[in-house]
């Protein structure tokens, strides 16, 4: 999606400026962008509303996340939240990952999102959790 980087939804309250700059920075310079060939989690999810997609790669070593990368196409919020999420995943155990909640994503983002934009913001977490289920064989689908 083409993104207007100064829209009203990108935080309009006092004090949002610092978060807005952080979001735009992650969108323009996504951290951990790329792919991992030998990853335990390789999972893609789509935002059904807009068709934007994220593919997430997570590699574990000795029970902790050794590396994480992502690829995708999406709006500033979806790309920025995914970039931010990859930064907090390193060194986490699987159990710690499973405890991540949508509130953790919104806290990283720092601005309030409307209902439609929430789907953008949570695409990263949905991709991660579906990827975990897939890795554990709970969804019956193989990578």
Per CB under 6 A, residues contacting ligand FES are 1, 47, 50, 52, 74-75, 77-78, 120, 123
| CA-wise closest residue to 1 among 42, 54, 45, 44 | 54
To the nearest whole angstrom, how small is the minimum distance from the Cβ of residue 38 to ligand FES? 28
To the nearest whole angstrom, how small is the minimum distance from the Cβ of residue 117 to ligand FES? 7
| CA-wise closest residue to 125 among 103, 110, 140 | 103
CB contact at 8 A, 68 and 58: yes
Which residue, 42 or 117, has its beta carbon nearer to ligand FES?
A: 117
Q: In what order do the strands lie in the sheet with 64-73?
A: 41-46, 53-61, 64-73
Which residue, 40 or 52, has its beta carbon nearer to ligand FES?
A: 52
Apex 73 CA angle, 68 and 76, nearest 5:
90
| CB neighbourhood size of 118 (10 A) | 15
Instruction: Give the residue closest to ligand FES by C-beta.
Output: 120
To the nearest whole angstrom, how small is the minimum distance from the Cβ of residue 49 to ligand FES? 7
Which residue, 94 or 110, has its beta carbon nearer to ligand FES?
A: 110
Beta bridge pairs of residue 68: 58
Which residue, 9 or 22, has its beta carbon nearer to ligand FES?
A: 9
To the nearest whole angstrom, how small is the minimum distance from the Cβ of residue 12 to ligand FES? 18
């Amino acid at each position: 999606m083409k993104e207007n980087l100064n829209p009203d939804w990108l935080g309009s309250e006092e004090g949002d400026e610092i978060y807005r700059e952080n979001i735009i920075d992650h969108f323009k310079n996504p951290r951990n962008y790329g792919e991992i060939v030998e990853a335990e989690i390789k999972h893609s999810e789509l935002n059904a509303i807009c068709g934007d997609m994220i593919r997430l790669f997570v590699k574990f070593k000795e029970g902790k996340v050794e590396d994480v990368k992502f690829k995708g196409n999406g709006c500033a919020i979806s790309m920025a939240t995914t970039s931010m999420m990859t930064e907090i995943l390193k060194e986490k155990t699987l159990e710690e990952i499973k405890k991540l909640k949508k509130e953790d994503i919104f806290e990283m983002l720092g601005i309030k999102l409307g209902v439609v934009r929430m789907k953008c913001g949570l695409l990263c977490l949905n991709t991660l959790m579906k990827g975990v289920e897939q890795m554990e064989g709970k969804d019956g689908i193989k990578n």
